[in-house]
Amino acid sequence: MFQLLGHMAVVDGGGRAINVRAAKQQAILAVLMLRPGGVVSVDRLMTELWPDELPATARASLQTYVYRLRRTLAPLAAQGVDLITLGNGYTLVVPDRAVDIRTFEQRFTRGSEALTAGSPAEAARLLREALDMWHGPLAPEIDVETVRRERRRLDLVHLTASELWATAGLQLGLHDGVIPELERLVEAHPLRESLWEMLLRALAARGRRAEALAAYRRMRDILSAELGVEPADYLRRRHEDILRGASFRSR
């Protein structure tokens, strides 16, 4: 019903789009969705919408935006959606299942817990479901502080979900399926050493020793050029294991 990953979209129970066209109405909706069930004060919303200087008409304009947004969302009342005025603020009542970021985080949490509990197959399934929901960063078209802050947090959750999915895949021995994803991840996050370590391990486990050694050299060059540091001790030990031809199939 409410999509924020990749861009904002709202649909009714029949799959028909509900257009929230005005940029400031989109911003208000996003901020309220990121505070589920919590009251967001009028002052907070005005600061979000006009961070540099409040116009004299800010309060009246905000009330108009909220009024129009409430009318736009009215068709969703049957699905349990309501925009309520409480005291000097507003709250959006919406079921968790109707918001993509909540489902994404719930599956991520369950997948992480399954991996910790020693159930890599269940973890891989749940984490894959979470990753398949990711269509891009949180509402990139909305530029207000609450959304920017939450966007940064969810980007990290997404990266962690990708890393945990790869971890589960390696535990299941699915190296061939994991290697392409790890190669993509190290391209996108070349300073994240844990990703390089998994890539080295996966390549070595498939007998691709020369590629693993080449990947280590590339990582070392990147760390030296970008940070002026050598790889961490555990990575140097992994490199030494590969040089010796150690087996990683059961690790």
Residues, the chain, total?
251
Q: What's the pLDDT score for residue 69? A: 96
Between β-strands 2-3 and 9-10, what pairing exists: parallel, antiparallel or unpaired? Answer: antiparallel
- Tell me which amino acid residue 151 is: R
Q: What's the pLDDT score for residue 15? A: 86
User: Please, where are the H alpha helices in 74-173?
Assistant: 100-116, 120-132, 145-171
Chunked mean pLDDT (size 10), the chain, 251 residues: 94 90 95 90 97 95 96 93 94 93 97 98 98 96 96 97 97 96 97 96 94 97 96 94 72 44
Q: Evaluate whether 201 touches 227 at the Cβ level (below 8 Å).
A: no
For the domain covering 174-251, report its CATH number.
1.25.40.10
Is it true that 2-94 and 174-251 share their CATH fold?
Answer: no
Q: Tokens 């391209």 sit at which residue?
A: 187
User: Domain spans of the chain?
Assistant: 2-94, 174-251
- The DSSP code for 123 is H
Q: What's the pLDDT score for residue 244? A: 87
CB neighbourhood size of 135 (10 A): 12
* Residue 22, SS3 per DSSP: coil
For the domain covering 2-94, report its CATH number.
1.10.10.10
